[in-house]
Structure 1
């Protein structure tokens, strides 16, 4: 292990390839200290991973480097010179580029317009569209991204938008590239494209600061790994000196023997009537002939490559689409004409896009948690009872271990993992019979994942029927009773999870059994 707080200054003198140094950097927001004493030394041609739970201070540190925040104290050196960017534009001018986890794209603009936003090729104040398209196509081709630069971002999937965000971050020359959870919404195939881009950046002598909660990819990509906890530096190590188990223990401050909690209650018997079922559910261009069922207390995992139709099925079950075929609740056909009707039927939906579809970011934690349960919290004549609202919100914050200064804090100021837990909390308020989870741990750290997994187990034990979409195959295998595998918008297989191997699931997802 390398103790950066003791060795940072010494390492700078020894390593001619050190491009960025952070010395005793701290950052406070009023009485809240987000960073206490941070040290980091980043070298050219290497991937330096920053590892820590949600709320540990990773994003705060990256925003300081990107010129979004100014440190309260400490020193940053770039190529040996003091680095004090006044804004993001100044950071870019110094050769530091950041790709944030939360997308910053304009939905109504094309891919090309988003990639070169703020530095479009122009003459006399007019954008040269032909040159813009040509430059965007050249960049997309160089990066190997499967995206049409003329398409509007609103028409892209979340995964495709993430690839565009990466291209945008690489559209100007940079010596230090910061990637914040870049694979959180990518399939394995798309992640491989990103990994090849990172390899090329290393070959060109670029320094990459990488933030991720996916331990397997951290061990694959990293050269150096720095762990931080509760805003403080813990240690720096090289990849070959450590293990996943050791890193998790350093990150969360405790041993985690089994990331997937055991079942709280036995699986429902095979002859248990289904709570929800579909018969030949079809929506042209989105999914075809899907017949599935889920019993009370059962977790059904959905797996497939991006574009396989998984999320579209979930949206149909929540009344966002009107497909052909039948949806049955307790064996009786129902018409789910809208999300409101689905909610009335006891169906809840935790969306993969928490920023745009799951939360009202400027509103408080309390308002977001109680958003769906207002009717249950209302007193006589529909009057809201403030004491009940606050008590309900506090109970869910405690239950899901949401890290917030108070329930009056705005949801937008919390870390991604805590925001995800708020989305889950608002649905738990209504005690749903059917809970749909679309990428429930996207962008969530290991500790927060364990807490979400524990809640899933508890809900299943209480009799909830759970449908879970996930791009993380270990997560699907670790939590599911049965696995629905999608391929090319068709149902490829429904498999019992007991003894199921990743190879079997992937072979169905790739269409090898078609």
Structure 2
């Protein structure tokens, strides 16, 4: 066995993140690690990568005990990690990012040509071709993922940990990544893959270990299991199938007319966008990241002032209005990037929950602490948010639990209109079930929802109508009841819908 983690326990005071965990990895194997948000997956991998020290337990490599006190120790032992949030320098080239820390030199200076040559050699060796001279800021998220993997390969990694590697990738980029992982495993590299996407896990993994509440509930060969069995091991119960009622479209809530946003260059970010969302419907927007979805969200929510067009919310012209004014008109917003737009990381769970709800919990300018804590506590229970306490800072919550807090906070606004951008990004199957159910409940209660998601299965499952964006325009509109992934993918790539 290449790697053994035996009886690993990690406690933070009274909270046990990992309890007597056993995990192993064979050479050339892809071993997936799955579980609910807060189940202890990332903590276990942080221990393996030297970012945390176990309270008890032992790690062995090639049958010999090792001490991993830092990431540098892990790298020395040929263990690399690609984090969920990329750790690249946007203004550096691909080659500069890949060789950082191990830069080739020429005299006393950095040899950029040698760095580029080494990057090209790595790309050819592992079948992951990149342009060494291109700046990371100009790269797609899929290309950035590839750069991160090449970086750990340049460090000599034989064991590669991938934390939610497909969370921000398009369907095509996901397929390319899974092919690349299989190819690297065939060359003898060993992978530990943390993911919530069980269908992807089933496509690529050799073995799967499931964690629940910090404990292993099972380790199975991928060929001997299925998505339903894995879901049951993860959440401890059978998932409920959520059905969508027929829409009963009411009066218009959002009207967008001829909306345009100019970019820094000659190419517009949004071009003559027009659509509407009515009471009792979910309008889904699909598209490859970078085709104008972010600018559309920001224009509607007040974060970006459009150059042309009109946005009406409940018959109020809110074009270019401040964020506060638009929210006061009846908008709630689950943002696409929870860290940049959704939370204050240094604020507590309670303080983050209070955002947008302060007026409801004050009298004569004084906030009701007990009322606020009761409200947030109800969300914690209802959405299964795992946190040490309501006083825990947001930065110490797992990404999925943070997402659940934001979703709960925005749904609790009970506004007529909701923008739900990537509402289930990084959450487990149990939380996804809850969030999907809540969105459909809001729609059935006459709410209007604009859903933006990179997950086509989510778009098809929740939407009544589907709009597809391509190069800043609406490339087509489909009825969700008859739309297929193939039709949507074709429009996403700039083709025309057929059938």
Provide the TM-score with structure 2 as the length reference.
Answer: 0.91
Pick aligned residue for 2:471 from 488, 503, 513: 488
Separation (CA, whole Å) in 2 of partners of 1:432 and 1:157: 34
Tell me the residue number matched to 1:377.
361
Tell me the residue number matched to 2:248.
268
Question: Does structure 1 conserve the Cα–Cα contact (< 8 Å) formed by 2:257 and 2:272?
Answer: yes
1:471 and 2:454 are equivalent in the alignment? yes
Q: Which moved more, 1:420-429 or 1:42-51?
A: 420-429
Separation (CA, whole Å) in 1 of partners of 2:326 and 2:91: 30
Separation (CA, whole Å) in 2 of partners of 1:452 and 1:137: 44
How far residue 307 of structure 1 moved from its aligned partner, in angstroms, is 2.7
SS in 2 for 1:511: coil
Question: Does structure 1 conserve the Cα–Cα contact (< 8 Å) formed by 2:116 and 2:132?
Answer: no
SS in 2 for 1:91: helix
Pick aligned residue for 2:256 from 240, 260, 278: 278
Deviation readout 1:402-427 (Å, 9 max, x if unpaired): 11121101111112210101222332
Question: Does structure 2 conserve the Cα–Cα contact (< 8 Å) formed by 1:25 and 1:37?
Answer: yes
1:74 and 2:40 are equivalent in the alignment? no
Separation (CA, whole Å) in 2 of partners of 1:125 and 1:297: 66
Question: Does structure 2 conserve the Cα–Cα contact (< 8 Å) formed by 1:277 and 1:329?
Answer: yes
How far residue 439 of structure 1 moved from its aligned partner, in angstroms, is 1.1
Cα distance 1:350–1:161, how it changes in 2: closer, same or farther (>3 A)?
A: farther
Aligned residues: 490
Tell me the residue number matched to 1:305.
288
SS in 2 for 1:227: strand
Separation (CA, whole Å) in 1 of partners of 2:113 and 2:14: 51
Pick aligned residue for 1:220 from 193, 203, 210: 203
Cα distance 1:112–1:367, how it changes in 2: closer, same or farther (>3 A)?
A: farther
SS in 1 for 2:326: helix
Question: Does structure 2 conserve the Cα–Cα contact (< 8 Å) formed by 1:370 and 1:429?
Answer: no
Separation (CA, whole Å) in 2 of partners of 1:355 and 1:307: 19
Separation (CA, whole Å) in 2 of partners of 1:97 and 1:366: 36
1:83 and 2:83 are equivalent in the alignment? no
Separation (CA, whole Å) in 2 of partners of 1:508 and 1:106: 33
Cα distance 1:350–1:296, how it changes in 2: closer, same or farther (>3 A)?
A: same
Cα distance 1:342–1:138, how it changes in 2: closer, same or farther (>3 A)?
A: farther
1:362 and 2:340 are equivalent in the alignment? no
Tell me the residue number matched to 1:333.
317
Separation (CA, whole Å) in 1 of partners of 2:433 and 2:108: 52
Separation (CA, whole Å) in 2 of partners of 1:161 and 1:342: 35
1:294 and 2:274 are equivalent in the alignment? no
Separation (CA, whole Å) in 1 of partners of 2:111 and 2:366: 58
Moved over 6 A (4+): none
Pick aligned residue for 2:327 from 334, 343, 350: 343
Separation (CA, whole Å) in 2 of partners of 1:450 and 1:160: 31
Separation (CA, whole Å) in 1 of partners of 2:210 and 2:319: 50
SS in 2 for 1:76: strand
Pick aligned residue for 2:398 from 415, 423, 432: 415
Pick aligned residue for 1:39 from 2, 9, 22: 22
How far residue 239 of structure 1 moved from its aligned partner, in angstroms, is 1.5
How far residue 340 of structure 1 moved from its aligned partner, in angstroms, is 2.9
Question: Does structure 2 conserve the Cα–Cα contact (< 8 Å) formed by 1:311 and 1:469?
Answer: no
Cα distance 1:176–1:152, how it changes in 2: closer, same or farther (>3 A)?
A: closer
Cα distance 1:332–1:143, how it changes in 2: closer, same or farther (>3 A)?
A: farther
Deviation readout 1:427-482 (Å, 9 max, x if unpaired): 23433322112111111111111111122122223332111111111111111111
Separation (CA, whole Å) in 1 of partners of 2:43 and 2:161: 13
Question: Does structure 1 conserve the Cα–Cα contact (< 8 Å) formed by 2:361 and 2:368?
Answer: yes
Cα distance 1:494–1:205, how it changes in 2: closer, same or farther (>3 A)?
A: same
Separation (CA, whole Å) in 2 of partners of 1:146 and 1:291: 37
Separation (CA, whole Å) in 2 of partners of 1:310 and 1:187: 13
SS in 2 for 1:322: coil
Separation (CA, whole Å) in 1 of partners of 2:329 and 2:227: 43
How far residue 99 of structure 1 moved from its aligned partner, in angstroms, is 0.8
Separation (CA, whole Å) in 2 of partners of 1:414 and 1:320: 26
Tell me the residue number matched to 2:443.
460
Provide the TM-score with structure 1 as the length reference.
Answer: 0.89
Question: Does structure 2 conserve the Cα–Cα contact (< 8 Å) formed by 1:476 and 1:483?
Answer: yes
